[in-house]
A and B are shown apart, each in its own frame.
Chain A
């Protein structure tokens, strides 16, 4: 029985290999792009209606969203509404630095310039990172969007922050 059950359902951890096709490095370098970690069919379409660029495809409300990386502008509108906090914006700058934007709903909220601990998919520490940008919690009903600068190999691994 347990053989048929997907690994992520046994552990609750979504791994990079569970995510399907990810944006290419070339695309990541062009401008930031949203990725979705909502891979299970659940009845929700808030990101589909939030997207102003028609970049999110969904056949019906139970269909997991698929992002058209060419249309996506990395505007973060889907991050602001996703009830599963399952949307992230990632990017790589020309000088090879990685950026991850993630929702954050904990006290204390960080400020730009703060050094925070970044956490991986299992809650493990991935070291420290500098906060580059914070979309303030009071502007988005308490869900702040925090952009941290990380090693470019960590943009698909850094998924939470701990303010020190």
Chain B
């Protein structure tokens, strides 16, 4: 594990990796940097297998890199099932792979994947119950093959305090991405006190990996790189620090009765009771069904973007992109900028789904786009070594004989996003499945208020769209929440109308058309009564 996958020189980014630190991985002393997550540091040194699957012990790599997919769970400092993509490396940290012997890399239990009769549903449930007196022994043995992790060591066991602190505030904003930041800023600007809760160690959400310039209205950050917008919004939050309390590395774990939000921050449980809640939890990446789609090396395109643009670690040397939407096209361009070759982009639709200009940008740099093609399977021994792609006919069936073998060491999946709706559901908002908006989204009025009392939604959690529209929605939600609490005046209402007008104009083109159609399905007249 001598290799260093870190990017040395990048046209856009300078990586602030911080101090070098040493930690232990499966008993071996290894190095990382203090601003890297455990997953990024391990990836940079060549680790590709992060965990093993529950039953068959198939190797698992990372997928999303933003704490949503649970593929990178490891035991950290004695605590089982830690998302290594969310925890930063610390000096002397002890990291161990779980649920594998002797390690996730070489797991002898992976024989499970090669014993065909075990894969029969319920085989072990029906077989290992007789003779009766051996039942207990069977359980003990089988337990070793399955389950996730071991119990935490005594040192790592959480000792709850007698009383958890309760913080009251005007507005709680969950999610520190473009929508959440904008909501907090606009609510605070009008005078409301706000608490901004985010899981990551820095604000900006997914903006911090968007190195490209944004499309949109020149009045709303068009032509500016996403990373700069993140810097600017973060600066605005800092300027409003009398009004906005930022809680980082804090996970909103639940929305409880009487509108209390439970937050876990650095091992402590904190209760927050806001008068208004704005949920801007963003989205998570979809995956795609094909043979060996769980092979390490099959990653979410956004996950790859995080790895290379936030932590400066190359995902591999040669990649294949699945999906020619904006995410697929943009990440392809950014892979090229990071010095990574992209062998091809495949797209099942008969046309490029993202903006034509993004497609033209990668085509002139020599990346072929195969429309009406899909990925048939990935192959490789414990990690991706290549993929078979195939052309599709008009009925979406693979055309035999059109298979192409593409050698690559990673595959990016960019087939869309799903809104992160769990908290909204807990809060009591009525959810509806709307295909145009990417999945389950809450009913809301034009000011982004849901039918749950005092609960607003903004950004991708309300429907998959762009960061620029997320910013506008955040502003609308923030202003409305503050207005409802008696802050702001006529000028705030006027400002909100202007933003709504700009948003409507943004969506008036062909790319906005499905969004408008989707929103019509969830738009309600009033908020909660």
List A residues 70-129 near B (Cβ within 8 Å): 81-86, 105-107, 109, 119-124
User: Interface code A12-36, partner B: CB below 8 Å = 1, 0 otherwise?
Assistant: 1110000000000000000000000
The answer to whether B369 has its CB under 8 Å from any CB of chain A is yes
Q: Of all chain A residues, which has the CB nearest B371?
A: A10
A to B CB contacts below 8 Å, 7 in the list: A12-B356, A12-B359, A84-B215, A84-B361, A86-B360, A105-B337, A124-B366
Question: Closest Cβ of chain A: how far from B223's Cβ, in Å?
Answer: 4
Known contacts A40-B356, A83-B223; decide if A46 and B337 are in contact (CB<8 Å): no
Known contacts A43-B216, A107-B10, A122-B364; decide if A12 and B324 are in contact (CB<8 Å): yes
The answer to whether B9 has its CB under 8 Å from any CB of chain A is yes
The answer to whether A136 has its CB under 8 Å from any CB of chain B is no
Known contacts A62-B512, A142-B11; decide if A2 and B372 are in contact (CB<8 Å): yes
Is the CB–CB distance between A50 and B371 below 8 Å?
no
Select the stretch in B417-425, B456-464, B500-508 that faces chain A. Answer: B500-508
The interface size of chain A toward B, counting residues with CB under 8 Å, comes to 49
* CB-contact partner of B218 in A12, A39, A46, under 8 A: A46
CA distance A141 to B223 in the complex (A): 11
CA distance A66 to B213 in the complex (A): 21
B interface, how many residues as a size bin? Answer: 35 or more
Residues on B close to A: CB < 8 A? 9-12, 212-219, 222-225, 228, 324, 336-337, 339, 350-352, 355-367, 369, 371-372, 394, 505-512
Is the CB–CB distance between B363 and A43 below 8 Å?
no
* CB-contact partner of A48 in B9, B218, B355, under 8 A: B218
Question: Closest Cβ of chain B: how far from A3's Cβ, in Å?
Answer: 10
Is the CB–CB distance between B350 and A10 below 8 Å?
yes
Known contacts A12-B352, A119-B366, A122-B364; decide if A41 and B510 are in contact (CB<8 Å): yes
Residues on A close to B: CB < 8 A? 1-2, 5-6, 8-14, 37-46, 48-50, 60-62, 81-86, 105-107, 109, 119-124, 137, 141-143, 159-160
Is the CB–CB distance between B350 and A5 below 8 Å?
yes
* CB-contact partner of B360 in A2, A6, A37, A105, under 8 A: A37
CA distance A71 to B371 in the complex (A): 39
Shortest 9 CB-CB contacts between residues of A and residues of B: A62-B509, A123-B366, A84-B357, A12-B359, A46-B223, A49-B218, A83-B213, A81-B223, A9-B351
In the complex, chain B residues whose CB is within 8 Å of the CB of A60: 505, 508
Q: Of all chain B residues, which has the CB nearest A143?
A: B213
Q: How many A-B residue pairs have CB under 8 A?
A: 154
In the complex, chain B residues whose CB is within 8 Å of the CB of A43: 215-217, 505-509, 511-512
CA distance A123 to B505 in the complex (A): 35
In the complex, chain A residues whose CB is within 8 Å of the CB of B228: 141
In the complex, chain B residues whose CB is within 8 Å of the CB of A121: 360, 363-364
- Main secondary structure on chain A at its contact with chain B? loop
Known contacts A10-B371, A119-B366; can you find 12 more A-B pairs with CB under 8 A? A37-B357, A39-B356, A40-B355, A42-B357, A43-B216, A46-B215, A49-B219, A61-B506, A61-B508, A83-B213, A84-B361, A109-B11
In the complex, chain A residues whose CB is within 8 Å of the CB of B362: 12
Most buried by A among B213, B224, B337, B339: B213
Q: Of all chain B residues, which has the CB nearest A122?
A: B363
Known contacts A43-B216, A105-B337, A107-B9; decide if A11 and B357 are in contact (CB<8 Å): no
Is the CB–CB distance between B351 and A10 below 8 Å?
yes
Most buried by B among A46, A50, A159: A46
Is the CB–CB distance between A45 and B222 below 8 Å?
yes
In the complex, chain B residues whose CB is within 8 Å of the CB of A48: 218
Is the CB–CB distance between B223 and A106 below 8 Å?
no
CA distance A39 to B369 in the complex (A): 19
Is the CB–CB distance between B512 and A137 below 8 Å?
no
